[in-house]
Amino acid sequence: MPRSLLIPVLALALAAPSMGCSIRKMALRATADGLTGGTGGSFARDDDPELVGAAIPFALKTMESLADSLDDHVGLRLALASGFTQYAYAWVQWDAEQLETKDPKRAQAIRARAARLFKRGRDYGLEGLLISKGITLEDLRGDTARRKAALAKLEIDDVPMLYWTLVPWAAAISADKRNLELVGDLPLIAEMLDRALVLDEAWDHGTLHEFSLAFDGARSIKPSREQEDKHYARALELTKGQRLSVKVSYAEQVLAPAQDKKAYLALLDEVLAFDVNAKDVRDQRLANTFAQRRAKYLKEHLDDLFLDE
């Protein structure tokens, strides 16, 4: 997420029509670099999801405007892929879940919007892969040899773009399961995830292992409990137990399907008891706040996940 929303205002002032094209381009590029060079800053440290959610659309539209003028800026594509994905998941899809039983028709409409935003994020990721590596959607959807040749071009520095392409792709399928073209992409998404794990399995403090907990159930050959536990243990190790979403994912994706209600509740209670305002985890406060929100929601919907005893 952008470090400052004041930068776009400066960009608009600098990019006046009277400026020469090359100077304008330099100003736009400097603004784009400023928007995409941070790691989340005040957004990540915030404890007010509604405030952040209200600010994100403006930031995304600002970056889209810049991307229209900077057709070779990889950083913008990465930021847009990440931004649309996180906004669709944490705000739009969440709203749909809250309405699932109260207003199914409205929930369906909101979920359709989430699917569109996920695909928008995926498309920016694909643009990034095209700009940086010359990889096209046709390459990824091609035969096995063509897809493997495309993925072989990727190196360790490409893992962020690879991740923020495959995640919204998978999320779009989850939000729009009737889209058979998207559902048919599951095998290639699995190959993309496997390639990312080979390149840098420890990237972003275990994010790939955490995502595997959610995604692996969609593979043609489902993972064993031992494999799931390995992903969980490695994610915990790399996050030092400070990213609560890892525990929530394990509870929801592994313990619930296994009908291990006791362990499930114990883990969610552990998440809810965590101090998200502690100084050493301040940079993850927003993400951990979301994880606690999810844990609370899951505890309130036990009957949807566990059979009556």
CATH code, domain with 250: 1.25.40.920
Structural domain includes residue 208: yes
Please report whether residue 265 resides in a domain: yes
Q: Is 247 a member of any domain? A: yes
Which DSSP state fits 279? G
| Residue 211 counted as domain residue | yes
Residue 103 lies in a domain: no
pLDDT of residue 62: 92
Vertex 91 angle, CA 90 and 95, to 5°: 115
C-alpha–C-alpha distance, residues 55 and 274, integer Å: 27
Query: What is the rounded distance in angstroms from the CA atom of residue 168 to the CA atom of residue 187?
Result: 15
Full domain range(s) for residue 285: 201-309
The reported pTM is 0.88
pLDDT of 260 reads: 96
Could you list the pLDDT tens digit for every one of the 309 residues in the chain?
444 433 333 333 334 444 455 656 556 666 666 666 654 567 888 888 899 999 999 999 999 999 999 999 999 999 999 999 999 999 999 999 999 989 999 999 999 999 999 999 999 999 999 999 999 999 999 999 999 999 999 999 999 999 999 999 999 999 999 999 899 999 999 999 999 999 999 999 999 999 999 999 999 898 999 999 999 999 999 999 999 999 999 999 999 999 999 999 999 999 999 999 998 998 999 999 999 999 999 999 999 889 865
Residue 237 lies in a domain: yes
In a domain, 111, yes or no: no
The span from the CA of 57 to the CA of 64, in Å, is 10
| Structural domain count, the chain | 1
Distance CA 267, CA 254 (A): 12
Task: Scan for tokens 């096209």, then name that residue.
Answer: 136
- Provide the H-helix boundaries in 88-179: 94-99, 104-133, 137-140, 144-152, 159-175
Q: Is 238 a domain residue?
A: yes
